[in-house]
Amino acid sequence: MAAGWLVAIVMALGVALWPAAPAAAHNSLTGSDPRDGARLAQPPTRVELRFLARLDPKTTKITLTGPDDVPASRGAPTFEGSRVRVAFAPGAAGRYTVAYQVASSDGHPIKGEIRFTVTTGTPADPSPTTASPTPSAEPSTPAAPTDVATTAPAVEPAADSADDGGPPVWPWVVGAVAVLAALAGGLLARRRSTTR
């Protein structure tokens, strides 16, 4: 009789625990920081997800995006047992989404996401502002017209023909005068001799 009750209790416990065995094989999200649906006046420095079972970095995928699907993570996720952390790169104010995909011990992928809102922020991709040129205090004076007469090259006087690099003329003149003088002297001497 006692043995019958013992068998019945064991069977009841087996039936009660049987659905729990497959369920334990599936991983699931147990919490997050920021929590799902949170509204934050200051952006967090990181986002943390907590799961039921230990995470495998090779099969865990975390994506963090902000308004207009702009990436909002900085660096690769870091793992610590059943927790994963992602450095947060704040951008524009608005809703941020953390999507996750983890693998359970039975290989079944678990997907989900949490959302939180940052009420203040800075533009995620600020465009550089171009400074407008400052108007000059004094109006610029127009450039004076170029005077053609003053910029024309000066006309140099023609070089003297005697100074054009040829041989000098005056030695020939002196020589010719000397020859004529000698001839004239010779003619005078002849006439004198003939008149005597």
Inside any domain, residue 152: no
SS3 193: helix
| Across 6-15, 62-71, 114-123, 180-189, least confident range | 6-15
Residue 141, domain member (yes or no): no
Under the phi-then-psi rule, with left for phi > 0, alpha for psi from -120 to 50, and beta for the rest, what region is 69?
left
| Cβ 26 vs Cβ 97: under 8 Å | no
Q: Is residue 12 part of a domain?
A: no
| Domain enclosing residue 43, as ranges | 26-118
Q: What percent of the chain has pLDDT over 70?
A: 56
User: What confidence score (pLDDT) does residue 45 get?
Assistant: 96
Higher pLDDT, 147 or 75: 75
The CATH number linked to 90 is 2.60.40.1220
- pLDDT higher than 70, residue 39: yes
Residue 135 located in a structural domain:
no
Give 61-119 pLDDT, tens digit per residue.
999 999 999 999 999 999 999 999 999 998 999 999 999 999 887 778 899 999 999 99
| C-alpha pair distances (Å), 16 with each of 2, 13, 19 | 21, 5, 7
Q: Which residues of 3-40 are buried (b: 16+ CB within 10 A; e: fewer)?
A: eeeeeeeeeeeeeeeeeeeeeeeebebeebebeeeeeb
Q: How far is residue 162's CA from residue 185's CA, in Å, rounded to a whole number? A: 32
pLDDT above 90 covers a percentage of the chain that reads 43
- pLDDT tens column, 114-132: 999 999 876 544 444 444 4
Q: Is residue 194 part of a domain?
A: no
Helix-strand-coil split of the chain, %, nearest 5: 30, 25, 45
Does a structural domain hold residue 50?
yes
CA distance 170 to 176: 10
- 44: in domain: yes
Q: How many domains is the chain partitioned into structurally?
A: 1
- Highest mean pLDDT out of 84-88, 158-162, 168-172: 84-88
**Own/partner pairs, 158-167, CB within 8 angstroms, 24+ separation:** none
Could you give the CA distance from residue 91 to residue 83 in angstroms, rounded to a whole number?
25
Residue 11 lies in a domain: no
Q: Specify the DSSP element, H or E, that contains 11.
A: helix 2-17
pLDDT tens profile 18-35: 444 444 457 899 999 999
The pLDDT value given to residue 48: 98
Task: Tell me the pLDDT band of 59, cut-offs 50, 70 and 90.
Answer: very high
Highest mean predicted confidence (pLDDT) among 110-114, 150-154, 173-177, 184-188: 110-114
